[in-house]
């Protein structure tokens, strides 16, 4: 490995990461022209765009245990305060290190390490690390193959096919999409819904939650069209596009002391705040906290940390990241996690809750937030680094050399050919790709067999009628063909299977079982 050459090759990944900014309100009530009848549009299949939490849950219930002024005030809530943690672009050792420095040492209230969502573009991605990150319980989602705005369909579909073929991610597990540069249209959303995606998360909530006409809606389905980005994107709003059951998860902007005109979205720590000319971590921390509190004390719309991890990567050769910025982000998360009812989640986990909004007091036993570790001891190429030793192939392409468990393709995957045939000219046995009825940690791509035959580790057939020639994708095979025979079995989510391994974490909150709400403890002047 030549570190210098590698650095030069990786630099484009750094410049690609500059996307996702927003300079003002991207919608308005008039531009949205949105109407939806909540008595007709009901969970779990339908949800109107609304600033109120789903399921009629109450964001704030004030309880005065002592009936006199200046006494203890208990602001209680049935609604969790979610921090959605996402990362975009290529997956490399540097970017995973970067995410780990913020999440690896944390626990949610149920004792599980927080999971996050990675919107992967494949240019410069090290495929085997995607496998590992998925098997560790994180969400892997689609950000196009070569990172293009207003993506052509084959950029979206090809990402799905290549992640399945070369990283062994089950097709059924790839449910979300974010457009590079957050640049999408009516047609992007229409294709995503047709391709079997569950949600898009490219739209922006660009007006403060405290403003009268805020567009900070909880995640909603597009049964009645989009209600965000109405001023900026093509062919959306006034009821368009109508995509029943397909979800939009807005990205919630942050606002500094200038309010609406001090808008920030992705990597807020790279921006200067309050009209200043240089980055000031203290000022960033202050508005991250004030925006969080506006959500927390209001309708508890999720708070997003939308990151490009390369910008905070300390292991990336030749790039210096200010330690104060890293410490500031950790200080923010430390501070947020001691507020009552705060959970750090992936987009997929957030959406599971919105579809089935149990009160905060029941979240510790909520299946999609649980964690488990697959017990696999065999030396196979399965996304568990200890089991993979010596079994990975290095595919030495000049753009970016990557590692994979699933056999090197003869050419780099492209949108037109996302699953090329494997190199076997050196006498190597081809590796078999993950089929629809096995899950990643139990699949042995060398022997081509599933180590677990019980219902707990099989996947149901979630074939998608996308890809060249309208192929109904099922995974499996050796590469070269996009379709293979489908298979059926029952699906038990890899992450939701076992009881939490760790004891319940401690946080300064009081559970009031009778009320089914969770309260913070504050002394305030009333
Ligand atoms: C790619 O993955 C391999 C295997 O885990 C690892 O040894 C290597 O350091 C990774 N390189 C990058 C740049 O991510
Ligand atoms: C990366 O993207 C550029 C264009 O954006 C393309 O020319 C190049 O082939 C891509 N490389 C890979 C490995 O996909
Ligand atoms: C979106 O992408 C298209 C095609 O690349 C480009 O013409 C357009 O300017 C982009 N729009 C924005 C808002 O970036
Ligand atoms: C919202 O509207 C009310 C009454 O229409 C007004 O008094 C209030 O100032 C408005 N708030 C904001 C933040 O614009
Ligand atoms: C949205 O896109 C679909 C599919 O391309 C098309 O049928 C429809 O007319 C478009 N709607 C608008 C408002 O552009
Ligand atoms: C930021 O705050 C810390 C602690 O309050 C202080 O020590 C530091 O000097 C501040 N930095 C700036 C640039 O204001
Ligand atoms: C893996 O090892 C653990 C203990 O080392 C054992 O309890 C478990 O049964 C083993 N699992 C398999 C599938 O062999
Ligand atoms: C998965 O499907 C294939 C093809 O239908 C079948 O041969 C295999 O036995 C199935 N594996 C399991 C574990 O059910
Ligand atoms: C794809 O396969 C699934 C499962 O076999 C089937 O239900 C679905 O109808 C197929 N779709 C198309 C378009 O063939
Ligand atoms: C691709 O599929 C065709 C028939 O559908 C088959 O004859 C051929 O062997 C397959 N190729 C590979 C590499 O699996
Ligand atoms: Zn991007």
Indicate which CATH number applies to the domain containing 207.
3.20.20.370
For ligand 7, the distance from its centroid to the CA atom of residue 378, given in whole angstroms, is 9
Q: Does 361 have pLDDT greater than 60? A: yes
Of the listed ranges 9-23, 209-223, 252-266, the least confidently predicted one is: 9-23
Does residue 477 form part of some domain? Answer: no
Instruction: Specify whether the CB–CB gap between 256 and 170 falls below 8 A.
Output: no
Does residue 367 form part of some domain? Answer: yes
Residue nearest to atom 6 of ligand 7 (CA): 375
Tell me, what's the pLDDT at 399? 87
Dihedral sign for Cα 351, 88, 21, 328, please. Answer: positive
Tell me, what's the pLDDT at 519? 59
Does residue 457 form part of some domain? Answer: no
Q: Is 358 exposed, middle or buried (0-12, 13-18, 19+ CB in 10 A)?
A: middle
Tell me, what's the pLDDT at 62? 65
Of the listed ranges 236-250, 376-390, 396-410, 448-462, the least confidently predicted one is: 448-462
Q: Does 286 have pLDDT greater than 60? A: yes
Does residue 115 form part of some domain? Answer: yes
Q: Which ligand is nearest to the CA of 378?
A: 7
Q: What is the mean pLDDT of the chain?
A: 85
Of the listed ranges 145-154, 230-239, 372-381, the least confidently predicted one is: 372-381
Question: Does 502 or 344 have the greater pLDDT score?
Answer: 344
Instruction: State yes or no: cis peptide before 111, omega within 30 of 0.
Output: no
Residue nearest to atom 2 of ligand 10 (CA): 481
Does residue 411 form part of some domain? Answer: no
Residue nearest to atom 13 of ligand 2 (CA): 123
What DSSP assignment string belongs to 31-75? HH-----TTTS-TTT-----SSPGGG--S-EEE-SS-STTSEEEE
Is the C-beta atom of 262 inside 6 A of ligand 5?
no
Is the C-beta atom of 155 inside 6 A of ligand 2?
no
Is the C-beta atom of 21 inside 6 A of ligand 3?
no
- Counting from 1 in the atom list of ligand 10, the atom nearest the Cα of 480 is 13
Q: Does 273 have pLDDT greater than 90? A: yes
Instruction: Specify whether the CB–CB gap between 117 and 85 falls below 8 A.
Output: yes
Tell me, what's the pLDDT at 246? 98
Of the listed ranges 67-71, 135-139, 342-346, 395-399, the least confidently predicted one is: 67-71
Give the count of domains, the chain.
1
- Counting from 1 in the atom list of ligand 4, the atom nearest the Cα of 210 is 13
Please name which of 2, 6, 109 lies closest in space to residue 399, comparing C-alpha atoms. 6
For ligand 3, the distance from its centroid to the CA atom of residue 147, given in whole angstroms, is 12
For ligand 2, the distance from its centroid to the CA atom of residue 159, given in whole angstroms, is 13
Does residue 159 form part of some domain? Answer: yes
Q: Does 510 have pLDDT greater than 50? A: no
Does residue 492 form part of some domain? Answer: no
Instruction: Say how far apart CA 386 and CA 33 lie, in whole Å.
Output: 54
Q: Does 51 have pLDDT greater than 50? A: yes
Task: Please give all residues whose CB falls under 5 A of ion ligand 11, grouped by chain where several chains appear.
Answer: 19, 88-89, 180
- Counting from 1 in the atom list of ligand 9, the atom nearest the Cα of 486 is 5
Q: Which residues of 438-467 are buried (b: 16+ CB within 10 A; e: fewer)?
A: bbbbbbbbbebebbbeeeebbbebbbbebb
Residue nearest to atom 2 of ligand 2 (CA): 146
Tell me, what's the pLDDT at 522? 39
- Per-range mean pLDDT, top range of 271-275, 453-457, 511-515: 271-275
Per-residue pLDDT tens digits for 17-28 = 357 788 899 999
Per-residue pLDDT tens digits for 437-475 = 898 999 999 999 999 877 777 777 777 877 666 677 888
- Counting from 1 in the atom list of ligand 3, the atom nearest the Cα of 150 is 2
Is the C-beta atom of 315 inside 6 A of ligand 2?
no
Please give the residue range of the domain that contains residue 86.
3-373+513-520
Does residue 91 form part of some domain? Answer: yes
pLDDT band at 225 (very low <50, low <70, confident <90, very high): very high
């Amino acid at each position: 490995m030549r570190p210098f050459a590698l650095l030069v090759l990786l630099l484009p990944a750094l410049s690609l990461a500059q996307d996702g900014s927003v300079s003002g309100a991207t919608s308005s009530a008039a531009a949205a022209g949105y109407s939806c009848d909540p008595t007709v549009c009901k969970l779990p299949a339908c949800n109107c765009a609304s600033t109120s939490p789903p399921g009629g849950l109450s964001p704030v219930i004030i309880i005065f245990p002592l009936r006199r002024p200046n006494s203890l005030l208990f602001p209680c809530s049935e609604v969790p305060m979610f921090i959605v943690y996402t990362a975009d672009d290529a997956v490399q050792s540097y970017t995973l290190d970067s995410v780990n420095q913020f999440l690896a040492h944390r626990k949610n209230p149920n004792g599980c390490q927080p999971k996050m969502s990675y919107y992967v573009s494949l240019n410069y991605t090290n495929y085997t690390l995607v496998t590992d990150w998925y098997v560790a319980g994180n969400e892997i989602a689609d950000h196009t193959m070569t990172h293009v705005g207003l993506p052509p369909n084959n950029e979206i579909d090809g990402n799905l096919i290549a992640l399945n073929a070369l990283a062994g991610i089950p097709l059924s597990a790839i449910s979300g999409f974010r457009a590079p540069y957050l640049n999408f249209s009516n047609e992007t959303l229409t294709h995503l819904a047709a391709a079997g995606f569950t949600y898009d998360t490219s739209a922006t909530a660009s007006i403060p939650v405290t403003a009268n006409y805020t567009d900070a809606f909880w995640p909603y389905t597009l049964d009645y069209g989009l209600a965000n980005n109405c001023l900026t994107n093509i062919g959306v709003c006034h009821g368009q596009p109508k995509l029943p059951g397909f979800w939009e998860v807005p990205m919630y902007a942050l606002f500094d002391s200038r309010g609406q005109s001090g808008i920030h979205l992705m990597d807020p720590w790279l921006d200067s705040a309050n009209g200043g000319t240089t980055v000031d971590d203290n000022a960033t921390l202050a508005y991250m906290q004030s925006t969080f509190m506006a959500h927390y004390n209001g309708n508890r719309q999720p708070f997003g940390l939308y990151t490009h991890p390369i910008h905070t990567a300390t292991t990336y050769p030749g790039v210096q990241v200010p330690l104060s910025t890293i410490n500031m982000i950790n200080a923010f998360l430390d501070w947020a996690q001691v507020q009552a009812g705060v959970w750090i989640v992936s987009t997929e986990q957030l959406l599971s809750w919105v579809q089935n909004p149990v009160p905060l007091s029941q979240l510790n036993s909520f299946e999609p937030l649980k964690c488990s570790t697959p017990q696999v001891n065999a030396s196979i190429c399965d996304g568990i680094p200890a089991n993979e030793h010596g079994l990975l192939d290095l595919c030495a392409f000049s753009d970016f050399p990557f590692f994979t468990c699933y056999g090197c393709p003869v050419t780099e995957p492209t949108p037109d050919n996302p699953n090329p045939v494997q190199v076997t000219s050196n006498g190597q046995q081809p590796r078999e790709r993950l089929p629809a009825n096995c899950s990643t940690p139990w699949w042995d791509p060398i022997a081509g067999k599933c180590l677990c035959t019980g219902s707990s580790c099989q996947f149901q057939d979630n074939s998608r009628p996308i890809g060249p020639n309208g192929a109904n994708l099922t995974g499996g095979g050796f590469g070269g063909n996009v379709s293979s025979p489908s298979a059926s079995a029952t699906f038990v989510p890899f992450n939701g299977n076992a009881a939490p391994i760790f004891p319940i974490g401690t946080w300064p909150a009081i559970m009031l079982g009778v009320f089914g709400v969770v309260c913070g403890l504050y002394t305030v002047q009333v």
